Amino acid sequence: MNADSSNKTYFHVDLDAFFASVEQRDHPEYKGKPVIIGGLPGDRRAVVSTASYEARKYGVHSAMPLSKAVELCPQAVFIRGNYKRYSEISHRIMSIFSNFSPVVIQMSIDEAFIDMTGTEKLFGPAESAALKIKKEILEQTGLTVSIGVSSSMYVAKIASGYKKPDGLTIIPPGDEEKFMLSLPLDKLWGAGSKTQAHLKEIGLTTIRDIHSKSLNLLISIFGQSAGSFLYNAVRGNKDYIFGTEAKSHSISTESTFEFDLTDRNSIEKALMELCWNLMWRLHKENLRSRTIMVKIRYEDFTTISVQESFTNPVSSSDDLYEKTMYLFNKKYDGSSGIRLLGICACNTESRDLPVQQNLFDFGEEKKARLEKAIYNLEEKNPSLKVRKARLLSD
């Protein structure tokens, strides 16, 4: 990233089997037992979200169809998941991190980078600082974490997965490349199944194999971006370029149906429900969007999308529904069943930004304000559930 990156010290902290560990902590009777989060046996079209280490011994892992997990480990404790609770605990842990450094980059609900550069005077060398963090989290939440330490965020990320659970792996400055070369190819974070298959196809089966190829060759095969990523990753050069915020955001919602939808009425109802949910989230985050995307996944799993940028931002759930139906009808030919529908508000921006008022129809603005007011009302009084009549009739 820059010339003095070798002086940097990054920690990557990863919560061990987070959701499952929370359940085991909340329910001591689950301790030592295989716990699988994601659904209950019999749930159609569910996948494993998290498997405890006890369940992993049976071959159960994240993203696996739940039916397969039931087959591999029928005696496991199955839980659909309490995501509100997980995110509360995640919040608490992230705030513990911020006691150790002002620069905490949260990557997801269960992992973060901490820039520990220059904290030696406060917390000692990397090892003792990492042990302090682990101790603090264990004492305050009863959970264990694995930590990777390196001058490169990319290497720190891989190091945190080197020893799990409750691991600590420190890669001293200068050893990044050596560490990367010691890893099996499938540990190359950022090269997923498609790239792994492609690499093997052309005879590159180890990280060392990739390392032996020139930048130009890799770019000619994998393209500019993926090629230079591979070249740098195997050298431990890769550093995240965190586009210091200000990037465009998207908010999306989707749902997979237990049984494929075929009739017009249930499709429209499903889309209306999605619009309602998405609009609520836009209100909540005080965002608006001009670009709407509709996603359709057919029974054979082929997935298509259609999007359009409109002159005016979406203002209300009625408006969103109108745009959604317009996009849906542009693509859907009615010939096959639908297993998933999704909608996305792409390139969102703050509602506080000025909008070109001359383009903003007054009636629409009124509707938007009304809806926002209803949203605020519901926020203050959650028992007040305002819902569209059509969504209630079932």
Q: Which is nearer to DNA, 47 or 131 (CB)?
A: 47
Q: Which is nearer to DNA, 67 or 206 (CB)?
A: 67
Q: How far is the CB of 359 from DNA (least distance, A)?
A: 14
Contacts of 65 (CB under 8 A, 6+ apart): 46, 47, 48
Q: Which is nearer to DNA, 101 or 291 (CB)?
A: 291
Binding site residues, DNA, CB under 7 A: 44-47, 49, 62-65, 67-68, 71, 107-111, 189-196, 223-226, 243, 247-256, 281, 291, 293, 300-301, 303-309, 339-340, 342
Q: Is 54 a catalytic residue?
A: no
Q: How far is the CB of 192 from DNA (least distance, A)?
A: 2
Q: Which is nearer to DNA, 30 or 332 (CB)?
A: 332
Q: Which is nearer to DNA, 219 or 374 (CB)?
A: 219
Q: How far is the CB of 340 from DNA (least distance, A)?
A: 5
Kindly name the residue from 23, 111, 176, 371 that is annotated as catalytic: 111
Q: How far is the CB of 110 from DNA (least distance, A)?
A: 5
Q: Do the Cβ atoms of 2 and 14 come closer than 8 Å? A: no
Q: How far is the CB of 294 from DNA (least distance, A)?
A: 8
Show which residues are catalytic. Answer: 111
